Amino acid sequence: MEKVVLKATPRTATGRQVAALRRSGLLPAVIYGHNVSPISISLEGREAGRVLGRLSSSSLITIDLDGKEYPSLVREKQQNYIKRNLIHVDFMVVSLTEKIRAKVGILLTGNSPAVKDFNAMLINGLNELDVEAFPQDLPESITVDIATLVNIGDGIHVRDIVLSDKVQVMDSPDEMIVLATAPAKEEVEEVVTPEAAVLEEGAEPEVLEKGKKEEGEGEGEEKK
């Protein structure tokens, strides 16, 4: 895996001073973790945004702080949701000689014959796997080919994922990642008009209101 390095400088600006730091084109960040007390740092904003935009949370990145290198993982990225740019990053320093657990995202790829031939719907289960490995052996993502979903009812489970023997999956083998299910049936509601209801076989018309009888009607013979 390509070594990714970001150069950093110590940061003294805090509080309201951080806004001025950002306006000058710098990105505030912090590193902490293995044998390292939290250190406030600054990164070149544009370069950091470009590099971090293509990396995942399981990607190993080296922070070069005044010539000393800290192998790290991105633990949190804060973003301005209007401008879509980074405003702060937390890096966790790791040891390259100790295994760690991390979440690795699942990327579905390919085309499912079940979708093409039977109009199946794909139901997603897990979106990421919990794995354990040395930091340098962590995959950036896990690609799952859905071309194996040929028929309705076919699924891909954790047990079907093949990774390097350097990576141990911690999730249950029976956990479902994606499943091809039957398409939902469209329910057509039948609208029955009152006229149609009357015309149904054997149906008697319902009398909603009876008129007032004429005086003497139906009460026997007329008196003379």
- Residue 199 structure tokens: 């015309």
| Closest CA relative to residue 108, chosen from 84, 127, 133, 130 | 127
Contact between 154 and 180 under an 8 Å Cβ cutoff? The reply is: yes
φ/ψ (deg, to 5) at 117: -90, -30
Helix, strand, coil % in the chain, rounded to nearest 5: 15, 35, 45
Candidates 2.70.150.10, 3.40.50.2000, 2.170.120.20, 3.40.640.10; correct CATH number of 101-181? 2.170.120.20
Q: What pTM value is reported for the model?
A: 0.75
Cα–Cα distances in Å, from 14 out to 20, 26, 28? 10, 13, 9
Candidates 2.40.240.10, 1.20.1250.20, 3.40.50.300, 3.30.390.30; correct CATH number of 5-95? 2.40.240.10
- Residue 76 structure tokens: 């949190």
Q: Report the percent of the chain where pLDDT is more than 90.
A: 71
Q: What is the pLDDT of residues 71-84, one digit of tens each?
A: 999 999 999 888 88
Q: What is the pLDDT of residues 165-189, one digit of tens each?
A: 999 999 999 999 999 999 877 555 5
Q: What is the pLDDT of residues 80-137, one digit of tens each?
A: 888 888 999 999 999 999 999 999 999 999 999 999 999 999 999 999 999 999 999 9
